[in-house]
Structure 1
Amino acid sequence: MEIEKKRLAEDEAREKNWRRWGPYLSERQWGTVREDYSANGDSWSAFPHDHARSRAYRWGEDGLQGWSDRQCRLCFAPALWNGQDDILKERLFGLAGPEGNHGEDVKECYYYLDSTPTHSYTKALYKYPQAKFPYIQLRDENKSRSRNEGELELADTGIFNDGRYFDVVQEVAKRSPQDILWRITVTNHGPEASEIHVLPQLWFRNTWKWGNEYEEPRHKPLIQREKDGLIADHDLLGTFRFFAETSAETKGPVPWLFTENETNYPRIFKTKGPSPYVKDAFHRYLIEGLETVVNPSEKGTKAAAHFKLMIPPGESVTICCRLHEEGEDNGLAGLDQFEETFAERLAEANDFYQAIIPDNLSHAEELICRQGYAGLLWTKQFFYYVIKDWLEGDRDGPPPPRERLKGRNSDWQHFFARDILSMPDKWEYPWFAAWDTAFHMIPFAAVDPSFAKHQLLLLLREWYMHPNGQLPAYEWNFSDVNPPVHAWAVWRVYKIADAKGHRDLDFLERCFQKLLVNFTWWVNRKDVEGRHVFGGGFLGLDNIGVFDRSHCLPSGSILHQADGTAWMGSYCLTMLSIALELAPTRPPYEDIASKFLEHFISITDAMNSLGGNGLWDEEDGFYYDNLIVGQDKPIPLKIRSLVGLLPMIAVTVIKQKTIDSLPGFRKRMDWFLANRPELLKYINVRKAVGQKNPGRVLLAIPPEDRFIKTLSRLLDPNEFLSDYGIRSLSKAHGDKPFVFSHDGQSNTVSYVPGESDTAMFGGNSNWRGPIWFPTNFLIIEALERYHYYYGDTLKVEYPTGSGNIANLREVAIDLCDRLISLFVPDENGNRPCFGEAHRYGEVDHWKDLVLFHEYFHGETGEGLGASHQTGWTALVVRLVRERREKLTSENNEWD
């Protein structure tokens, strides 16, 4: 067994607490809902970036690629100063929502390079300019630009020209669960010697100020100087020792700085505070030259060693640190065996991934996988949010404004989160989102199946799920509606995490019981007419519609949503598959399987037949949303988008032998079809032909003729098929925008392949043209299922109009290739995802860096939106692996 797998097993068995420490700090705690105590709910203004260095957080901490224990009690991260900046660099800078021309956006260059699942070894890179950081220029220029202009990024300012920056590489290696080695390597890529101040910081999250009964220590924690390092004492966490030294020559002993993690009340609130030593002391000490702001008695709740380094051009300096629990010293003094431990952990990480990543990949594909997994593991974050306390205020603090009691998340007072969660992006989205989490867990299942199962179960627990059955959508508004993909993720993780014959039926059943409650919520709340057609709201696709589908419908109208109904059809089929999996050892699930089969057929009938053709438009050969205004005839909203493609993902194949092995299910299925013969058209049966072609039953929302028509549009380069995947909106709307007029108002949807040109949902994402990984992944997976049923009996023109004929498996593989190509260098070394940023193809220190953006330009493939949304874009790692398996396997069975 590889050493890392052994660690995972020890942690799972609770023998050793390997996951207690990790890169769990947010990259942005300021500007979040949790820290907003305003009356109007304006999170960005309530706690802006300018407050972050001076104001103690209530619900978490942030740091520069920092670490903490799993409850974020003791944290460590570096602070940097190049001698030019106005602000000590303790956290990443970015624009608040109202400041960017496309919403919030981080304006830094940083990369997650490596991590094992237990974080026994991690590596990250931050590129720190040597010139004054252009905070004002980035803010003012982006704020002045229109939505139709590109964004000004940090590199666009010229600040990295001539290599005038430092590479700050942070590596952490665990010698044992609570003996942690931290190596900071700073390299000067500039043409001249340059000065940098590096402060390895250790601090306690402020848990003593609020009067919090859940975690308040008996005594305020304390960090103080002892001999050659620090000692940090916390009632609940224990006593830790911290050491730091550098490879560079220094004049005299390295100074240690101390202060308190307390708000600078005079600066923030213009009042006197409880301590003269406050959170921004190190900033004021270095940049303002105020020596009295640090505690001369060398104690506090925040401390740092201060290394002032002059680094020659092209050279590096290393700072070595160690944090270990007092009783877990492993018989070693100070920094003994430091480098040896790092070499061992890196070798063990390589061994672990050698077994995970296919060995027949190109170098570029290996980088995609290794850095994709790294980003996925680095974006785990401590998330703490107790709605009742947040609404009512803390025992020792002033009560929040009364408006909050009827405002955001006020009907979620049961919600209590204090967990390590997988985040979409630790800067732009430093909070979980329900449907993001579902997609994250697909690649997670290959490297840390236990964590993947835990995350899916957690959102179904009673302190997350609403008593009415709704899953919390995301922090900004838990009551918004994300697509119901949780069951799908449970099913896929169940299949990926364990080999056949050893799969975790208990996990599957635990999830299924809670999913039943959630499914019922959907049926009761989102099928308003009881006709098996759903109107779930914006469903995570933000601005894809002509108006905000959650709130801005014309007066007195309702919306029959093609995607909402498709999501529910897919939900039914997944629940059917799970029930059939459980039924052989748990017979009552045969009854439940029958319920979901009948419900799916009812949804399919409504989708295709309600009022005539349902949501299908025979003239266009496409599914559309229908707007129902009073008693008038339904108005089809003829936008060719993902809304009309998603019905094809509601598909599954059941083996006839599975049906025959469950006599109760078979009997009820036969009775239902005998008594509802008009519904037989929605079930396709392929009879057994020899052992290689067993009998199969196809269940799908689109009948075969409608599936083929939809497919012809999907695979048309003039509509959805891009060189880099499937667009979210047909390119045809570039020449012919859709215009909807009602009550004297007109709304338009046109093809916008890049950043959003509308302020809908803050303008920080766009579903009107770009390529999104989660929906592409579902479409590819659906094509595999159709091929499993049809085989070579169904071939299509691919691409549409090309004259080339392919089966659906070949189409799926090619779509995989298109998505993977986003991250593969061309003949000039440039990856499409980096657009015109040619430094990634031309400069040695940028060449092997990969970012996993939120979405991608529909024509050029350039990465857009959140730059580190490795979560669902890490699905590319799964595609790389599956593509290799499909190309080398003769077994076409979809499992």
Structure 2
Amino acid sequence: MSQPPTAEHQRLAEARVPNSHWRRWGPYVSDRAWGTVREDYSTDGRAWEYFPHDHARSRAYRWNEDGIAGISDRKQEICFALTLWNGQDPILKERFFGLSGTEGNHGEDLKEYYFHEDATPTHSYLRLLYKYPQRAYPYADLVATNRRRTRQEPEYELIDTGVFDDHRYFDVFVEYAKAGTDDVLMRITVVNRGPEAASLHVLPTAWFRNIWSWSVDEERPCLHARPPVGAASVLQADTSSYGTRYVYFEGTPPLLFTENDTNTRKLFGIDGPAYAKDGINDHVVDGNRAATNPEARGTKASGHYVLDVPAGGEAVVRVRFTTDAPARSVPFADFDAVCAARRNEADAFYGTVIPADLSADAAQVMRQAFAGLLWNQQFYHFDVKTWLDGDPGHPRPPAERRAGRNADWRHLYNDDIISMPDKWEYPWYAAWDLAFHCVPLALVDTEFAKRQLLLILREWYMHPNGQLPSYEWNFADVNPPVHAWAAWRVYEIDRDRTGTPDITFLKRVFHKLMLNFTWWVNRKDEGGNNVFEGGFLGLDNIGVFDRSQPLSTDGHLEQSDGSSWMAMYSLNLLTIALELARHDPAFEDVATKFWEHFLYISYAMGHQGADRDINLWDEADGFFYDVLRLGNGQQVRVKIRSMVGLIPLFAVATLDSAQLDSLPAFMRRMFWFLEHRPEFAASIARVRVPGQGERGLFSIVGPERLRQVLGYMLDEREFLSPFGIRALSRHHEREPFVVTWQDANHRVDYEPGESGTSLFGGNSNWRGPIWFPVNYLLIESLRTLHQYFGDDYRVECPTGSGEWMTLAEVADEIARRLARLFLVGRDGRRPVWGRDDRFDRDPLWSAHIPFHEYFHADTGKGLGASHQTGWTSLIACLLAGNMLSPFTTGGDASSR
């Protein structure tokens, strides 16, 4: 189906053409650059302490910039963002504040309230709301109180400090609208929500990313003032990549200039530049006029507005960043008309994306989910070799670094716009997060989604051994292999919307994933028995042991989830190979490879033979568990009822019989294998037992085991929550799992909210809460299983209720429970706010929706990173209806 030709669709089409630059400017500035691995040059690898928030205003970054509602060009030569001061704070509000991993009682934690309200894929229109207190921001109180609290206590949030009491705060709306590819309008609307008039300093700020300090031959760029024109102050930016640009500030505010250089005197007691990064801060807050350059030039500059806003009133600041040189014409003549046009065009674009029959509330949730996803695109720069060896003319990094973090990733060179999980708490990409982002992204910007998936497979990302980079803290860690799943989903969305299959994209992905699959098989199968182990695998602290680390004794943990992810990976690659075989018969041979891999893994997980006393399937319990295998031959099932026992459901696909007939070589090999190795197909592949529509089934679980697993999953005393499927069964609230290991007791309790353990910094918990990505995959799996079993196969949902549903109906029920997290219920509340009247009952808050990292399993309250719109934006796919088909090998849009 072709897209309706809205203005935004036309811009997307133009953006595919070389030398068209609709994507050049975007929200590519991070929300946080301090406290990251890239900026850490310490001997001990303690990134938070080496570059703390207190240094950020005074210290130039090496790798990328941060700011409030910031935009930049795609290589981040020049940036633009918002700076504020309420007259009470000890520093300018130039960046969002939060606690480092050692300060928060549940790890690093943002302590601000801002909401991504709208965004288009080309960033032709962007809108963000920031809530800024009129009282002094309580920096010290937030740090001290959270440090005192234990892991068993709730986090002390900004709203708990009282700074928002009596509505004494400003709503600051930041809008960007493009009048052209290089003509960006910035509108700042300040609304005083308090009972009295209040003043606010507003400083729209432009600056160059500091690249001159790290290179011996890099020239320093320049910003300098021009004479006012048309009642506007004028700033000229001489860029090396784009030529001359101009910034117009309506109303002729004074312009303040400094350099984006480190204030070495303040931080280290060493003589340094006369004008430093914090010069504008010192000028405005401390009244130190000598801190800014009287010659009106530098590499950082702000227009300084002081607004007096009456109670309940508003004030507007207008700024334009453009190629147009000063002239007699007023630069703001068409400003409001352009902003209005872009808002209307955004409405028209989303009118083609959001189903017309959605409620207004659901449509709002869906649109804000897309907005957060698009705002969280970031310029990400990291050259590991340079980071390890040091920059020319600078002291060499500590020797410990050469054998420390990421030392084996010297090839990695990142210099791209990447979809981030969250630009404050996770201002770095993660392999499996990125894969989930690309599915909802494909609903609004398929080309960007495809490029993101290909990017992480490029030679300067993928390790030479075939491993994908996991995440900045440790690229060598292991994330679940969901890249093939995402690539197939994006391919399907693109094909169904355009009517043209992008076979070239699918081939490019497939060839690189072959290397990655081989890495997994060679590196993560300790016993060579097709049962996998030894990795983070995305589930953080779900078990007794830190699975990122090797066991401290001779032995290993065989993982139900690790093996299931690999079975799913095999089926995903099989699906892609069969699709490619429709266009090139040479792919039939490699399809056979993945079919057999799937059978071997599935058989190993569920078969108990003479060579393996126990396996991952517990026949007595009817559930999958991890198995601890020790060097002395002892084998122990780790009988924790957790998501690791549900992930086997992900490995499922149906086989279209019509396509099978069109692939004779694959069909011959498949049936030969089934005939000569019948034990592998006994309860795993039901190719010879056609289901609904004459389909075959590939699945780890057959109909009886499926019924047993779903009996647990759909039990409200176990996994089924009012808001989705829990990561850990509530059974462990009544019966905690305890194991004695090396003379110490290790315990796993049901924890529906924040984590009580320090594993992974304590800000991530898989011992009970609701996580969107695995819930989404469960919904997909149930729909695929329904495609095979049909309406005759029913299960009790909830378990013990007497209500019987088809698997498709169960999938819909879980989807409804997930949507319930964000939608206003009959009680007038959004569960994501945690039944807090300050949010739920106040219309100035309740319409603005956070998309958290995970959610309290019993209340629905959002937890973890508060803007993790990456995988949580999958809610948009669910609200859009059954836009994604069951996972089917072959077929086309007409078969769904």
Normalised by the shorter chain, which TM-score bucket?
Answer: over 0.9
Deviation track 1:735-787 (CA, whole Å, cap 9, x = no partner) reads 10001112311100010000000001111100000000000000010000000
Q: 5+ residue gaps in structure 1?
A: 247-252
**Equivalent position to 2:366, from 344, 369, 382:** 369
**Equivalent position to 1:89, from 73, 82, 93:** 93
Counterpart in the other structure of 2:331: 334
Displacement of 1:403 in angstroms is 1.1
Counterpart in the other structure of 1:304: 302
Displacement of 1:538 in angstroms is 2.1
Output the amino acid matched with 1:436.
D
Do the aligned residues in 2 keep the contact of 1:740 with 1:748 (CA within 8 Å)? yes
Classify the secondary structure of the residue corresponding to 2:686: strand
Counterpart in the other structure of 1:451: 448
Classify the secondary structure of the residue corresponding to 1:119: coil
Output the amino acid matched with 1:452.
A
1:125 is aligned to 2:129: yes
**Equivalent position to 1:5, from 9, 16, 25:** 9
Displacement of 1:219 in angstroms is 5.0
1:738 is aligned to 2:737: yes
Output the amino acid matched with 2:678.
P
Classify the secondary structure of the residue corresponding to 2:564: helix
Do the aligned residues in 2 keep the contact of 1:785 with 1:894 (CA within 8 Å)? no
| TM-score, scaled relative to structure 2 | 0.96
Counterpart in the other structure of 2:555: 557
Q: How many residues align?
A: 878
1:232 is aligned to 2:233: no
Counterpart in the other structure of 2:267: 268
Classify the secondary structure of the residue corresponding to 1:498: helix
Residues 331 and 785 of structure 1, relative CA distance in 2, 3 Å threshold: farther
Do the aligned residues in 2 keep the contact of 1:217 with 1:234 (CA within 8 Å)? no
Residues 894 and 544 of structure 1, relative CA distance in 2, 3 Å threshold: farther
Displacement of 1:687 in angstroms is 6.1
Output the amino acid matched with 1:700.
S
Classify the secondary structure of the residue corresponding to 2:820: helix
Displacement of 1:841 in angstroms is 2.5
> 1:492-641 to 2 correspondence within 5 Å?
492-499=489-496, 501-551=499-549, 553-610=551-608, 611=612, 614-641=615-642
- Give the distance between the partners of 1:613 and 1:792, measured in 2 at CA: 35
Counterpart in the other structure of 1:476: 473
**Equivalent position to 1:287, from 282, 285, 288:** 285
Larger deviation, residues 364-373 vs 553-562: 553-562
- Give the distance between the partners of 2:398 and 2:885, measured in 1 at CA: 58
Deviation track 1:528-553 (CA, whole Å, cap 9, x = no partner) reads 21110000412111100101012152
- Give the distance between the partners of 1:462 and 1:471, measured in 2 at CA: 10
Displacement of 1:222 in angstroms is 3.5
- Give the distance between the partners of 1:816 and 1:420, measured in 2 at CA: 31
Output the amino acid matched with 2:768.
G
**Equivalent position to 1:143, from 125, 147, 158:** 147
Counterpart in the other structure of 1:672: 673
Displacement of 1:330 in angstroms is 12
- Give the distance between the partners of 2:645 and 2:884, measured in 1 at CA: 30
- Give the distance between the partners of 2:884 and 2:537, measured in 1 at CA: 33
Displacement of 1:332 in angstroms is 6.4
- Give the distance between the partners of 1:531 and 1:371, measured in 2 at CA: 46
- Give the distance between the partners of 2:451 and 2:328, measured in 1 at CA: 35
> 1:65-76 to 2 correspondence within 5 Å?
65-76=69-80
> 1:773-788 to 2 correspondence within 5 Å?
773-788=772-787
Classify the secondary structure of the residue corresponding to 1:417: strand
Output the amino acid matched with 1:639.
I
**Equivalent position to 1:243, from 223, 226, 248:** 248
1:22 is aligned to 2:26: yes
- Give the distance between the partners of 1:606 and 1:348, measured in 2 at CA: 54
Counterpart in the other structure of 1:203: 207
- Give the distance between the partners of 2:774 and 2:613, measured in 1 at CA: 29
- Give the distance between the partners of 2:629 and 2:309, measured in 1 at CA: 69
Identity of aligned residues (%): 52
- Give the distance between the partners of 2:240 and 2:341, measured in 1 at CA: 33
Counterpart in the other structure of 2:685: 683
- Give the distance between the partners of 1:735 and 1:223, measured in 2 at CA: 68
Residues 136 and 754 of structure 1, relative CA distance in 2, 3 Å threshold: same
Residues 383 and 331 of structure 1, relative CA distance in 2, 3 Å threshold: farther
Displacement of 1:207 in angstroms is 1.0
Classify the secondary structure of the residue corresponding to 1:829: coil
> 1:210-229 to 2 correspondence within 5 Å?
210-211=214-215, 217-218=218-219, 220-227=221-228, 228-229=233-234
Counterpart in the other structure of 1:712: 711
Classify the secondary structure of the residue corresponding to 1:543: coil
Classify the secondary structure of the residue corresponding to 1:872: helix
- Give the distance between the partners of 2:125 and 2:226, measured in 1 at CA: 28
Output the amino acid matched with 2:793.
L
Counterpart in the other structure of 2:114: 110
Displacement of 1:613 in angstroms is 5.5
Counterpart in the other structure of 2:341: 344
Do the aligned residues in 2 keep the contact of 1:562 with 1:625 (CA within 8 Å)? yes
Do the aligned residues in 2 keep the contact of 1:840 with 1:848 (CA within 8 Å)? no
Q: 5+ residue gaps in structure 2?
A: 887-891
Counterpart in the other structure of 1:48: 52
Do the aligned residues in 1 keep the contact of 2:687 with 2:698 (CA within 8 Å)? no
Displacement of 1:791 in angstroms is 0.6
> 1:845-856 to 2 correspondence within 5 Å?
845-856=844-855
Classify the secondary structure of the residue corresponding to 1:567: helix
Classify the secondary structure of the residue corresponding to 1:602: helix
> 1:790-805 to 2 correspondence within 5 Å?
790-805=789-804
Displacement of 1:684 in angstroms is 1.1
| TM-score, scaled relative to structure 1 | 0.96
Displacement of 1:331 in angstroms is 11
- Give the distance between the partners of 1:456 and 1:553, measured in 2 at CA: 33
**Equivalent position to 1:359, from 342, 356, 359:** 356
Classify the secondary structure of the residue corresponding to 2:414: strand
Output the amino acid matched with 2:485.
W
- Give the distance between the partners of 2:293 and 2:882, measured in 1 at CA: 59
Classify the secondary structure of the residue corresponding to 2:877: helix
Do the aligned residues in 2 keep the contact of 1:593 with 1:665 (CA within 8 Å)? yes
Displacement of 1:354 in angstroms is 0.1
Do the aligned residues in 2 keep the contact of 1:813 with 1:883 (CA within 8 Å)? no
Displacement of 1:847 in angstroms is 2.4
- Give the distance between the partners of 2:688 and 2:126, measured in 1 at CA: 50
Counterpart in the other structure of 1:250: none
Larger deviation, residues 668-677 vs 196-205: 668-677
Do the aligned residues in 2 keep the contact of 1:840 with 1:849 (CA within 8 Å)? no
Classify the secondary structure of the residue corresponding to 2:13: helix
Classify the secondary structure of the residue corresponding to 2:352: helix
Counterpart in the other structure of 1:316: 314
Displacement of 1:218 in angstroms is 4.5
1:165 is aligned to 2:169: yes
- Give the distance between the partners of 1:175 and 1:332, measured in 2 at CA: 16
Output the amino acid matched with 1:32.
T
Deviation track 1:572-620 (CA, whole Å, cap 9, x = no partner) reads 0000000000002111100000111111101111001142562111121
- Give the distance between the partners of 2:532 and 2:789, measured in 1 at CA: 29
- Give the distance between the partners of 1:595 and 1:886, measured in 2 at CA: 25
Do the aligned residues in 2 keep the contact of 1:788 with 1:892 (CA within 8 Å)? no
1:174 is aligned to 2:171: no
Do the aligned residues in 2 keep the contact of 1:225 with 1:299 (CA within 8 Å)? no
Output the amino acid matched with 1:290.
N
> 1:861-880 to 2 correspondence within 5 Å?
861-880=860-879
Classify the secondary structure of the residue corresponding to 2:212: coil
Classify the secondary structure of the residue corresponding to 1:446: helix
